[in-house]
Chain A
Amino acid sequence: MIRLQQVSKIYSLGHVEVPALDRVTLAVEPGEFVALVGPSGCGKSTLLNLMAGIDRPTSGEVWLERERLDCLSDERLARLRRTQIGIVYQFFNLLPTLTAKENVALPLLLDGRRRGEVEQRVERGLQRVGLTRRAEHWPHELSGGEQQRVAIARAIVAGPRVVLADEPTGNLDSVAGGAVLDLLEELHREQGQTIVLATHSPEAVKRAGRVVHLRDGRLEEF
């Protein structure tokens, strides 16, 4: 499903070069639930960004199925993100000027799907995360946990191959965080959704099928 081949990422800040990933090779199989763990600054977010195609590696190859992400055009990558890749962030990242429902619909709307299909899928997505009754609410009217569930609905609405979640519980209390993790676990179990989750929480690690350790940009797999 996802393959990283000798991937390195070096940020350059003026004259200083910050190596974030160092020759990482990793494969995620379809239906896997992988947890990425490691100390702060070890490169988890960087790795997820590369998989999501919102950033490009300095060297190495990033494959999603048969597509080599590091070689695709911006345009093509954007289209991939609409339907093939779902992203969930620590800070929910809903658009404040759109309602919950509109936020969920966004990837489909950007993709130019027909209205009927959009309605149907959004309905199912919100149902999936248990927020049908919050459809017309604005983000600022929702709790943090609810916002994150809306974000998950948005990530899965187009039926992506993979959901990438970067510390989705980092900004939530343990109850709300637990609910979000439950949701991800259900998606994995019931629909065989492939998930890659970057996290610091042991609670989250417990639910994953495989744990990948990162340290200073290098892989330490057990």
Chain B
Amino acid sequence: MGGSKSSNVHTWSVIRLTILRQLRTNPVRVLVTVTGVAIGVAAFTAIQATNESVLHSFTQAIDLVAGRATLEITGGEAGIDERLLPAVQQIDGVSAAAPIVQTVASVAEQPGEALLLLGVDLFAENPFREYRLAGSDRPPGIEDLLSLDAIFVTTTFAEAHGLRKGGHLTLLVGMRRQRFSIKGLLAPQGPARAFDGNIAILDIAAAQAAFGRIGRLDRIDLVTREQVSPDEIRTRLAKLLPPHLTVQRPDRRGRQVEKMLRAFRLNLTALSAIALLVSLFLVYNAVSLSVLERRRQIGILRSLGLTRGAVAALFAAEGTALGLLGSLLGVGGGLLLGRSLLRGVSQTVSTLYAYLRVDAIQAGPVLLLTALGLGGAGALLASIAPAYAASRIAPKDAMQIGSFERTWIRRSHRILLVGLLLLAAAFLLTRPGPVGGAPLFGYLSLACLIFGVACFTPRLLRLTGTGIHLLCRGRRAPLLTLAAGTLSSQVGRSAVAVAAMMTAVAMLVGLTLMIGSFRRTVELWVEQTIRADLIVSPAARFVKGSDATLSDSFIESAARVPGIAAVDPFIGQRVELMGHEGLLATGDFEVVAHYGRLLFRQGESAAVMRRAKAEDGVIISESLALSRGLTEGDRVSFVLPSGRIELPITGVFYDYSTDGGKVVMDRKLWTRLGGDHGADMVAIYLQPGADEAAVRRQLLAIAGTDSAIALNSNRALKARVLEIFDNAFAVARALELIAIVVGVLGIFNVLWASVLSRQREIGILRSVGATKAQLVRVILGEAGLLGLLAELLGLLAGIALSLILIHVINKQSFGWTIQFQFSWWVVVKSSIIALGAALLAGYLPARQAARLNIPAAVAYEG
């Protein structure tokens, strides 16, 4: 149709006259809005990219290390008896089988640096993995390959640490420092690419000796014949193997990692989504301001024949353009930001979950397009309401000042009602349990809470404005009266900015309270449960994935050291606990009953421990009890090398050391069930008045000269626990800050627009004798009032938010019970930040107001 073509041309010229003109006439707002969106999108992109990189690093490492293996046999931490290997090789359908032992070792004298040690049978490797020696290296001779101290490191690792072929590398493995000699460098190919080169290969016999795992394997990799279905081979293997071993495809492990990290990742994603939300409020606000300022223009265009739809489309396009531009910048910035977050996140994952090494940010096109799309679509969504309002402007209304505001006031009742409904929904959504382990309803409840409270801003703005106005009537506070008057007469333009800032404050308050409560809870728990005077562990243990242990002989000798009253050897092993991975652990219950203390849901520590020991019962962590619906008296079951075991639950204790759930039994029972010897760490209780320094010296002497054991005092251990805790929340704190910055930009936009639209008013004030300083105070007063309201609502929303985080989201994600703790400090802190930020946002607009040319401002009718 000819009509549609001409209307396209028409639309384009209208766009040129409006949107592009906007860039010229209102560059500040365009800049600020785009920046705000960019920051929000950057936060989101950064978190997603970090998450993806972490996951990618794991799955890539698994893939690279698995090589061409089609199936693998794993035995958890209990391991596999190596005598099973020949039988496995014999099975019909298995064309090759390769034994693996692996551990994570720390690099001596380089705290924080670790690598994955892979012990392989170099002669069985060919069907599985390819290793290529770097440069023109001649292949090492047999005696070199098989010597007990031979190791192959990657070129990447060698370069980073200044190592050469023929040089030496000291690692903390097991209880010892071990010196390896580098027999060759591996070019970045196959397994050598895993964990960015932080991997080393050694012969299996040397590895078994070094890791203290003689006769045991961690894994057997299999290549199977294509003609036989993997399921068929699995059934054949199942008949042969003891029950604690699992046969699976290697990529299954990737999915396990994903599952393990899911709650952690979801949490970060939700927080970054809040930052994104704040920036979308900003778009809403910017488009509203633009509609407001151009209502005359709209009226004229409408009377010249522009349709309602076209007006709406125009403003929707403006918002979307701002959003897309911001998203584009945000995606770029997000990748940079992601790079700086990566270290922190990967360190946290390394201390909490599993050893990990990531250097490069991974962001696939899907992620980038998602971030871009979310920013664009979010901006479109955010501009729909103001665009619709613009399309409702009738030609005659547009000439009347304040018709826009009056609509807002009329609508504020309805908005309030919606707000109340959303709050009710937020409350109801806290009731249902998790969906597939994730607190989806909890996150929905958070969203309802934020939007619900946001709905209160128009009403509250008006009430406060009129309230202050009434209070100041006739008092000598003309400036405050003026600021308040503006507040109540400009609800439409301020409400959304206040909502944005409120959201940021809510996030700040919510997270501060949650983290504070959590920290307080952990502190109390640490205070009450860490009773030992000294904790001995292999130095290699500080990275997750190291399974270094202390030997039985060390433990026995330690118990005899003068001054030591008792020792409690602790072992923890990851096993499958009723469907999910958890920790199976053991300690000496008698020692814990006498010297230590756990916090039980019911019953007194010593009594429960002694009863558990007497009845061959176990104690389980509260998180396990919650997630599996277990309670005192129920039975818990799991699989050990000796078969499936079922034991009664004597007690349920609070525990914040792991998020997967924990089952603990007495060491006697453990040994009877065929559990491992040695200990991951030993808690040592001193006799009263014993000389701690002397005991330390003795312990080091027992361990031997090349030992690598760490001795932590009670205080140091407590500090370490809290340090890990604080690191885990560092990223959340960064996101808090980001949200605040975006919120500030919103307030800036409002004040800037307000100053621009009130030139005449400002001119009048100046002409009746207001000094520049007084004017600056009026604008800052307005800024302060906006900030104050955002703070007030944000504080309330934040308290509710922290309750949802504590009682719904964390509880359902991790199973931790956190005691809610209100702190007045959060009120002080958030007030200072909100008010300070608002005043900062008001500074430039105030300066702008003071610079105004009075005659020009008052000359014509505004």
Contact = CB atoms under 8 A, between A and B. Distances in A.
A95 B774 contact: no
A46 B853 CA distance: 13
A97 interface: yes
Interface in B450-492: 473-478, 481-482, 485-486, 488-489
A89 B858 contact: yes
Contacts of A81: 767-769
A83 B855 contact: no
Which of A87, A93, A111, A112 has the most chain B CB atoms closer than 10 A to its own CB? A93
Given A93-B760, A98-B485, A78 B475 contact: no
Nearest to A101: B474
A97 B766 contact: no
Contacts of A220: none
Contacts of A82: 768-769
A80 B771 CA distance: 10
Contact of B765 (A79, A87, A95, A113): A95
B855 A109 contact: no
B782 to A, nearest CB: 11
Nearest to A80: B769
Contacts of A74: 771-772
Contacts, number: 95
Which of B481, B765, B770, B771 has the most chain A CB atoms closer than 10 A to its own CB? B771
A118 B764 contact: no
B859 interface: yes
Contacts of B854: 49, 54-55
B773 A115 contact: no
A149 interface: no
B692 to A, nearest CB: 70
A79 B858 contact: no
Given A54-B855, A109-B476, A115-B475, A93 B764 contact: yes
B761 interface: yes
A96 interface: yes
A109 B771 contact: no
Contacts of A100: none
Interface residues of A, number: 39
Contacts of A107: 768-769
B824 interface: no
A45 B859 contact: yes
B825 interface: no
Interface in A118-144: 118-119
B769 A83 contact: yes
Question: Chain B: interface secondary structure?
Answer: helix
Contacts of B764: 93-95
Contacts of A195: none
A191 B854 CA distance: 29
B474 A115 contact: yes
B478 A119 contact: no
Interface string A22-57: 000000000000000000000001100100101100
B482 A98 contact: yes
Which of A49, A82, A97, A111 has the most chain B CB atoms closer than 10 A to its own CB? A97
A76 B763 CA distance: 17
Contact of B769 (A79, A94, A95, A105): A79
B123 interface: no
A211 interface: no
B768 A79 contact: no
Contact of B481 (A52, A98, A114, A171): A98
Nearest to A86: B768
A154 interface: yes
A113 B477 CA distance: 11
A89 B857 CA distance: 12
Contact of A115 (B476, B485, B768, B772): B476
A146 interface: no
Contact of B855 (A45, A91, A115): A45
Given A45-B859, A97-B486, A102-B481, A52 B767 contact: yes
Nearest to B487: A97
Interface residues on B, range: 20 to 34
A112 to B, nearest CB: 7
Contacts of B766: 54, 78
Contact of B768 (A46, A114, A154): A154
B409 to A, nearest CB: 14
Given A45-B859, A49-B855, A78-B771, A96 B476 contact: no
Given A49-B855, A96-B761, A115-B476, A75 B768 contact: no
B861 interface: yes
Contacts of A83: 769
A18 interface: no
Contacts of B861: 91, 171
Interface string A61-81: 000000000000011001111
B485 to A, nearest CB: 3
Contacts of B773: 75
Interface string B822-862: 00000000000000000000000000000000110011110
Interface in B758-803: 760-761, 763-774
B485 A97 contact: yes
Interface in A165-191: 171
Contacts of B765: 95, 106, 110
Nearest to A112: B476
Which of A81, A111, A112 has the most chain B CB atoms closer than 10 A to its own CB? A81
B858 A93 contact: yes
Nearest to A115: B476
A101 to B, nearest CB: 8
A87 B772 contact: no
B726 to A, nearest CB: 48
Nearest to B485: A97
A22 B600 CA distance: 94
B547 to A, nearest CB: 72
Contacts of A52: 767
Contacts of A105: 474, 478
A105 B860 CA distance: 24
A106 B478 contact: yes
A101 B766 CA distance: 18
Contacts of A97: 482, 485-486, 488-489
Contacts of B478: 102, 105-106, 109-110
A107 B764 CA distance: 11
A111 B479 CA distance: 11
A94 B473 CA distance: 17
A74 B477 CA distance: 22
A97 B770 CA distance: 16
Contacts of A55: 854-855
Given A45-B859, A93-B764, A95-B761, A75 B772 contact: yes
Contacts of A102: 473-474, 478, 481
Nearest first, the 10 closest Cβ-Cβ pairs linking A and B are: A82-B769, A97-B485, A109-B478, A54-B854, A81-B769, A78-B771, A49-B855, A91-B861, A93-B764, A107-B768
12 contacts: A78-B774, A82-B769, A91-B858, A91-B860, A93-B767, A95-B765, A97-B482, A97-B489, A107-B769, A109-B477, A113-B476, A115-B474
Given A107-B769, A110-B774, A118-B474, 18 more contacts: A54-B855, A78-B766, A78-B771, A78-B772, A79-B769, A83-B769, A91-B860, A91-B861, A93-B760, A95-B764, A97-B485, A98-B482, A98-B485, A102-B481, A105-B474, A106-B478, A106-B768, A109-B476
Interface of A: 45-46, 49, 52, 54-55, 74-75, 78-83, 87, 89, 91, 93-98, 101-102, 105-107, 109-115, 118-119, 154, 171
Interface of B: 401, 473-478, 481-482, 485-486, 488-489, 760-761, 763-774, 854-855, 858-861
